[in-house]
Every structure is written in C-alpha cells, then in structure tokens.
C-alpha cells in the first residue's frame, strides 16, 4: 500500500502572535494507521494555494475546534456559541469542496463533522444542553473530569456501519453543537440516544464522513482502529494526477 499524504487542518490561537496548534493525537492516529501526517493551517482565501493543497493531498482530516460562525449557515449567534474567527472555516470550506470534486477522502472530526455539513449547505444546533436537553452528556462540565462517553446507534445502510461492523459503539464525546438540518445529499448514519446526530456521510462520495465524536482521543478502541484504517486505505487509492 502506498502511504498517503494526509492533511490535518488546524486554526490559529492568539498568543501575542497567531500560532497554529494541533493536538498530537491527530498526528499519532494518522501515522499509526499508515498515513503521512502534514499540518494544514489556513492560508487565507487564495484560490490557487487552496487548489495546490487539494492536488497534493491524498486525504484530509478536519480536526476539532471551537464553533463555526453561525452566519456561515444563515443564523444569528446563540448566547452559548463560541465562534472561531472565520478564516479557518472559510479556508476549510473551499478546500473540502475541491476535494469533493476530486473525490478524495475527507474525515471530519467533531467541529470537522459540523464543518462538512455547513460546507455542503446544512445547519447546526448551536447549543445541545439548551436546545435539545441534557439526557445525554455530550461534554464534560469541568476539565478536572474525564471526557464524556456515550453510546451511538449506527444505521445499517451506511459506509460507517460497514467500517465499524457494529450497530452500537461507545465513543468519547466533547461537543455542545451538532448537525441540525443535514446538507443536501448528506446522510445521517448514527445518532445518540437523545437523537443528536453523531455521524454523517455524503452520498455518491467515495469517503466523505463526519464523526461528531473523537476517535483520536480513544487510540486503543477497535472503532478508532477500524475508522482510521478505512480512511487511510481509501486515501492510498488516490491516483495523483
Ligand atoms: Mn456526542
């Protein structure tokens, strides 16, 4: 198998100056599954540069992050929404649309799952505790606690079900937003017990999957191994033109 070049997106944090940061777990997850991880930080809206990324990469992971500015999906901000500056999501939206045209694999994780839905025309629940309820704990309430875990039910007629091979799995959850209206062509493929959407996939794409949970925070889990291997295998089958 050819080792595919996998971009992992990141945003900037202001530490006096802008600093690109990415949790090492994402790098480890890609390397562990046989991919070559490269960090991809936003370069603005220069279309030529974004095209170069799309051509060079064999696959892309959209990593976790804060909230997508709600004006990108036509809504006013909820009081609990903690939006990122728009440079990161705008860069990622342009990049994933190109990758979709080229049918290259994309895996969105947490924020990345939400980004995929917004990129193709869907909307988001802005705050699960106030808009859905607290039956399922999707995020820990203090950084002293371990991360929340909950089960998700995986629908049978889906790529993610084929990959995971199970109808129910337990995952690590750290989010307060989720997919509301799925984008046109976006299939809901798993849900939490409270109905919150936990995975989506774009129909007619080879591999364009969003998981609302954090496989990279659960490196020993069977579901993580299966998901990462399926993604890397798919990316290794790209013919670079
Ligand atoms: Mn969850």
pLDDT tens digits, one per residue of 2-45? 899 999 999 999 899 999 999 999 999 999 999 999 999 999 88
Which is catalytic among the residues 110, 113, 150, 198?
A: 110
pLDDT band at residue 235, thresholds of 50, 70 and 90? very high
* Gap from CA of 174 to ligand 1 centroid (Å): 7
pLDDT band at residue 241, thresholds of 50, 70 and 90? very low
* Gap from CA of 137 to ligand 1 centroid (Å): 7
Length of the chain (residues) = 241
- Is 110 designated active site? yes
Closest alpha carbon to 235 in 21, 64, 36, 94: 36
Count the neighbouring beta carbons within 10 Å of the beta carbon of residue 31. Answer: 15
Tens of pLDDT along 143-166? 999 999 999 999 999 999 999 999
Tokens of 13: 């944090």
* Gap from CA of 182 to ligand 1 centroid (Å): 16
Instruction: Measure CA 57 to chain center.
Output: 17
Helix (H) or strand (E) holding 153: strand 148-154
Which is catalytic among the residues 92, 198, 201, 216?
A: 216
Q: Domains along the chain? A: 5-236 (3.40.50.880)
- Is 214 designated active site? yes
Between the CA of residue 241 and those of 7, 57, 102, what are the distances in Å?
Answer: 17, 11, 10
pTM: 0.97
| pLDDT at res. 1 | 75
* Gap from CA of 237 to ligand 1 centroid (Å): 31
* Gap from CA of 56 to ligand 1 centroid (Å): 33
């Amino acid at each position: 198998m050819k080792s595919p070049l996998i971009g992992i997106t990141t945003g900037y944090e202001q530490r006096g100056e802008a600093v690109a940061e990415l949790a090492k777990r994402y790098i480890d997850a890609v390397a562990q599954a046989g991919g070559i991880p490269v960090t991809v930080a936003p370069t603005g809206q220069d279309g030529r540069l974004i095209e170069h990324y799309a051509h060079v990469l064999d696959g892309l992971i959209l990593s976790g992050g804060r909230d997508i500015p709600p004006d990108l999906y036509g809504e006013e901000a909820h009081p609990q929404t903690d939006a990122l500056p728009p440079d990161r999501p705008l860069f990622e939206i342009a990049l994933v649309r190109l990758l979709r045209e080229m049918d290259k694999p994309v895996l969105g994780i947490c924020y990345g799952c939400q980004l995929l839905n917004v990129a193709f025309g869907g909307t988001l629940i802005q705050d699960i505790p106030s808009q859905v309820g607290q039956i399922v704990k999707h995020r820990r309430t203090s950084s002293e606690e371990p991360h929340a875990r909950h089960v998700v039910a995986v629908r049978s007629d889906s790529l993610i079900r084929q990959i995971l091979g199970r109808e129910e799995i337990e995952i690590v959850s750290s989010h307060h937003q989720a997919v509301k209206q799925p984008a046109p062509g976006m299939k809901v493929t798993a849900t939490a017990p409270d109905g919150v959407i936990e995975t989506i996939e774009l129909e007619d794409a080879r591999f364009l999957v969003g998981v609302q949970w954090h496989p990279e925070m659960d490196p020993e889990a069977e579901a993580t191994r299966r998901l990462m291997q399926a993604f890397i295998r798919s990316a290794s089958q790209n013919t670079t033109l």
